[in-house]
Structure 1
Amino acid sequence: MSSYTLEYLPPVKPSAIALGTVFNQAANLAVLTPIFGETYRRAQHADSKEEFIKSKEAASAAALYGSTLVGSGIQTYAVAAVLNHCGILSYKGAAYVGGLIFAATSVPLLVTQIFQERRPAEMVAVKAAVGLVDTVGLAVFLTYWGTRPAHDLLR
């Protein structure tokens, strides 16, 4: 029986994961602001801080923020790993790879929202813009910062 190892996961500079996660969170904040804004207004109207902390709104806001934080970290690692594996060093190459990731992850959902669900064009456009920032923008940012750990650069 073989043991499971992490040797197949490409190494990525930890600071790239941290800063990429912050970058992703900032991009997603544009979409999540209305949700947190409503939660903040409810907190102001609650009788006490303890009452709000125990409320369903506070729990769902905390869960939403925590899950997006974890998701952003995983997405950042994945994009950085793809960039490392492909040997991308230029912004043009990063934008191309980010565009491919966008096409693979976001375009099918956007097409479904336009043609099947018939969502408003403005909503789909905002989701597309956030998706582009999350993929193309993230890939270019990670290329700027650098994704390879120092020990990989010495080889």
Structure 2
Amino acid sequence: MSLKYFPSVTPSAIALGTAFTHGTSLVLSAPFFGSAYERAKASDTPEEFLKSKEGAGALAAWGSSLVGAAAKTYAVAAILQSTGTLTQKGAAYLGLLIFAIGTVPGAFVNIFQEKRPGEYVLVKVASDLLDSVGLAALLNWWGTRPDLV
């Protein structure tokens, strides 16, 4: 496998998109991190908290969210670049397509199979919609190709 088949994307676009995607994913996990923060304040030392099960779980969730955000950002930027999307309207359509293939099936599972509360599904869908369409629009606005900057 050769790396020459992967489109080049500016590092600044990856950094900006990673921050955006990581921030929108933290909106959903804020209650989890809020309770972890309360436990951290209650522990005697930071080392004690990091050795605890809650601390390790919070660190793993934060780290995996950051890595996933970087991977998603690169993928969306590469798709934008490979398709030659130049307009914000085109980026929004591409973001809607990414949203449809990534979130809609899971939303149906959450509603009909897992019987999750409607508020939970609505917040998750709204967050994913903001993440998908917003990320595509942000990356398109910023510019993803090194030869254009």
TM-aligned CA deviation for residue 92 of structure 1:
0.4
Please point out which of 80, 85, 93 is paired with 1:88. 85
Partner residue of 2:51 out of 54, 58, 65: 54
**Length, aligned pairs only:** 149
Which string of whole-angstrom CA distances, capped at 9 and with x for unpartnered residues, describes residues 40-77 of structure 1? 11111123333212111111111110000000000000
1:15 pairs, out of 12, 17, 20, with 12
| Aligned equivalents of 1:32, 1:100: Cα separation in 2 | 24
Q: CA deviation at 1:129?
A: 0.8
CA apart distance, 1:141: 0.6
User: In 2, Cα distance between the equivalents of 1:50 and 1:109?
Assistant: 37
| TM-score, reference length from structure 2 | 0.95
Corresponding residue of 1:142:
139
Cα deviation for residue 13 of structure 1 reads: 1.1
Deviation at 1:17, TM superposition (A): 0.5
Offset of residue 116 of structure 1: 1.3
Shift in Å at residue 26 of structure 1?
1.1
Within 1, Cα distance between the matches of 2:17 and 2:44? 39
Deviations 1:70-92 (CA, angstroms, capped at 9, x unpaired): 00000000000000011011110
Q: Return the TM-score normalized by structure 1.
A: 0.92
Task: Name stretches of at least 5 consecutive residues in structure 1 with no aligned partner.
Answer: none
- Residue 81 of structure 1 aligns to which amino acid in structure 2? A
Report the RMSD for the aligned CA atoms in angstroms.
1.2
Match of 1:36 in 2: 33
- Distance (whole Å) between structure 1 residues aligned to residue 67 and residue 45 of structure 2: 30
How much identity, in percent, do the aligned residues show? 54
2:98 paired residue number: 101
| SS of 2:145 mapped into structure 1 | coil
Q: Greater helix percent: which structure? A: 2
Structure of higher CA gyration radius: 1
Q: Distance in 2 between matches of 1:55 and 1:89?
A: 48
Q: Which residue of 1 aligns with 2:111?
A: 114
